């Protein structure tokens, strides 16, 4: 009985267009895959049920293509769902890189940095906080 237990495979990838095909998916290693054991209870008369899977570690502010397939241990050929598209929400960017400061005068410094490697969405502005430091010379 448990050998026939179905599995839900969810395939997903970042996409720039909405024209992905299942042919691309079966011949490409660019699709990521999550496999979930299907846990459901059908009513005695049949009925419908809902399955779900959670995709983790997705990048922020990205468009993804996704489709699903049901398979079992015995029959590994499953039918594919249509490909659906979604966009993740923006997230907090990673930290800026290579922050440097140079004194231009007694009262002015210039700060230079590189943007985050993963901005997770558009960056509209940077907030800069500063505070004076006490000069402490060794005695």
Q: Which architecture characterizes domain 2-87 according to CATH?
A: Sandwich (2.60)
Residues of the chain with pLDDT > 90, as a percent, come to 35
Query: What is the pTM for the complete model shown?
Result: 0.67
- Residue 1 is predicted with a pLDDT of 47
- Checking if the pLDDT of 18 tops 50, the result is yes
Q: Count of CB atoms within 10 A of residue 61's CB?
A: 15
124 vs 90: CA distance, rounded Å? 12
């Amino acid at each position: 009985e448990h050998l026939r237990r179905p599995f839900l495979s969810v395939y997903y990838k970042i996409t720039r267009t909405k024209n992905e095909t299942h042919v691309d998916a079966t011949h490409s290693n660019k699709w990521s895959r999550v496999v979930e054991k299907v846990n459901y209870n059908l009513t005695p008369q049949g009925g419908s049920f809902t399955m779900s899977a959670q995709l983790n570690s997705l990048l922020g502010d990205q468009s993804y293509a996704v489709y699903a397939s049901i398979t079992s241990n015995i029959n590994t050929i499953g039918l594919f769902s249509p490909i659906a598209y979604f966009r993740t929400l923006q997230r907090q960017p990673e930290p800026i890189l290579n922050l440097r400061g140079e004194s231009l005068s007694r009262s002015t410094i210039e700060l230079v940095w590189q943007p985050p490697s993963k901005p997770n969405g558009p960056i509209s502005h940077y907030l800069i906080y500063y505070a004076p430091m006490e000069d402490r010379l060794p005695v």
